[in-house]
Amino acid sequence: MKSMHLALRRLMLAASMMPLLALSAVAQAPTPAALAAAPALNSGDTAWMLTSTALVLMMTIPGLALFYGGMVRKMNVLTTVMQSFAVTCLVTVLWMVCTYSFAFTTGSPFLGGTSRFLLQGMTLDSVNDLAKTIPESVYMCFQMTFAIITPALICGAFADRMKFSALLWFIGLWLFASMHRLLTGCGGQTASSTTRAYSISPAERSCTSTRGSPG
């Protein structure tokens, strides 16, 4: 009896909220002009790219961490798995702060764009010109997972003998200096379609596609 009373009260509360909800829905509904300008997102593409992003992140943690961790001596296993994990975190933050903007927006030929610093301007329906059928947030995260595993792979070469502090500095600086320059400074402006190297890795993707400012 008591629970029924409670349910009734909830129902009444919900009913009283309905006009309010409807009002807010009207307020947020896009105008016809905005609908026409909105890019045509494809739910199938988006679903697959969300899945792919998770899969690529899984390659680094726990995939690469375990792969490398198992191969070192027991006294260095925690250092090794920590390297993969810390690189994941460090690159994510750097990517959010500036490297995504440098690598995937238009700006100077050497530095790339600064329009997406701190992901400012990335909205629910913005897209990057390199992938127009998925939300920019998904594309940004997908490319982020690539930026994570690339430096994480390097850790295998100096396993057992790198200071952790030196590792963080090296990975952070390397992300800027090496990966970012390859992403932006690889001659995309001058190379014609017949002289480009074939590759679909993100580093070369920006060479093989027209670079443009994200929507």
Q: What's the min distance (Å) between Cβ of 207 and another protein?
A: 9
- Based on CB atoms, which residue is closest to another protein, 50 or 119? 50
- Based on CB atoms, which residue is closest to another protein, 12 or 207? 207
- Based on CB atoms, which residue is closest to another protein, 45 or 125? 45
Query: Which residues, other chains included, contact 129 with Cβ-Cβ below 8 Å and sequence gap of 6+?
Result: 209, 210, 211, 212, 213, 214, 215
- Based on CB atoms, which residue is closest to another protein, 53 or 101? 53
Q: What's the min distance (Å) between Cβ of 119 and another protein?
A: 19
Give the whole-angstrom CA distance, residue 48 versus residue 56. Answer: 12
Tokens describing residue 78: 């925690």
Q: What's the min distance (Å) between Cβ of 43 and another protein?
A: 9
Q: What's the min distance (Å) between Cβ of 195 and another protein?
A: 6
Query: Which residues, other chains included, contact 74 with Cβ-Cβ below 8 Å and sequence gap of 6+?
Result: none
Q: What's the min distance (Å) between Cβ of 124 and another protein?
A: 19
- Based on CB atoms, which residue is closest to another protein, 13 or 197? 197
